[in-house]
Structure 1
């Protein structure tokens, strides 16, 4: 039973991440549509609004909830909580906070409030990638990696990722 629950848990993790990877892109497109002249602005914002709502409410939120349900179920079936799992759960808690931040942006944009530039949203878009890398490394490597090397590796990954964003911005101009 454990492995079936684990498989379902992984499926919903994948769909949840798919939503969290794409929703900021839609936020960026919607924000950039604000700079277009009418009628393009209205047409694009209406279309992106529909796409955003369907993705967020139809895929991302249900996947987040089902990930939590099946992950908790898996935890009960597993029994004990090893040290690596506590670290992973800390990152998972951070991932849910990130999810809630996306909910806030979603709610604002649905009301026509645009607080962030497309560049700020591009950077925010990469936060899910950082969580994905950290969580997958912890689950895959477990006790084989030291905490110090894990943190240093994650910091190096973040520096490389942010540098890539800056380089991309320069290339776009």
Structure 2
């Protein structure tokens, strides 16, 4: 029964963590694009984005990551046999990638606050899609589990990545026309 509670907590905090990451990078994009505004207007927006990013990061996103990881580790402690499954190794590799992604986002946030960020809004849009790809990989690893489905899963991830890249480029072209 404890395993099921840990699983429920894990799912809840993975959802809030991902929501925080997705929204955070959107804020980075808007924050970056605000640099094109005149001096005083930019300063007002910059201060507001710093408040929004900081609250989202420290109140929702980072605690959610720690709670999702803690619940996941609790499940592995209760059912250590899961560590023998190949799909779990794949999932954990992508989770490690997502934790790394989290801390890269934190560094971007600090650089934006210091007005030293070098990322363009297009690079941030592509960065945002990386979290989507990792989320898909983790969910498919957990749900499919079977090795035969990995061929389709990898092909699907590559296709998804290409579609997301094309969508970002298409959006850029539309924005440039306006």
- Shorter-chain TM-score tier: over 0.9
SS of structure 1 residue aligned to 2:145: helix
Q: Which runs of 4+ in 1 moved over 4 A?
A: none
Q: Which residue of 2 aligns with 1:91?
A: 94
Matched, 1:20 2:13: no
Once the two structures are TM-superposed, the CA of residue 83 in structure 1 deviates from its matched residue by 1.2
1:9-158 paired onto structure 2 within 5 Å: 9-80=10-81, 81=83, 82-143=85-146, 145-158=148-161
Cα distance in 1 between the residues matched to 2:11 and 2:19 = 12
Contact 2:27 2:53 in 1 (8 A): yes
Specify the alignment match of 2:174 in structure 1. Answer: 171
Compute the TM-score of the two structures, normalised by the length of structure 2.
Answer: 0.93
State how far apart, in whole Å, the 2-side matches of 1:99 and 1:139 are. 21
- After TM superposition, give the deviation of residue 144 of structure 1 in Å: 6.3
* Partner deviation per Cα, 1:79-129 (whole Å, 9 max, x = no partner): 212111111111111111111110110111121212111111111111110
Spell out, residue by residue over 1:29-84, the C-alpha distance to the aligned partner (whole angstroms, 9 max, x if none): 11111110032111111111100000011111111111111100011112212111
* Unaligned stretches of 5+ residues in structure 1: none
Q: Partners of 1:97 and 1:21 in 2: how far apart?
A: 15
Unpaired stretches in structure 2, ≥5 consecutive residues = none
Taking structure 1 as the reference length, what is the TM-score of the superposition?
0.95
- Say whether the 8 Å CA contact 2:13–2:64 is kept in structure 1: yes
Report the alpha carbon displacement of residue 149 of structure 1 after superposing the two structures with TM.
2.4
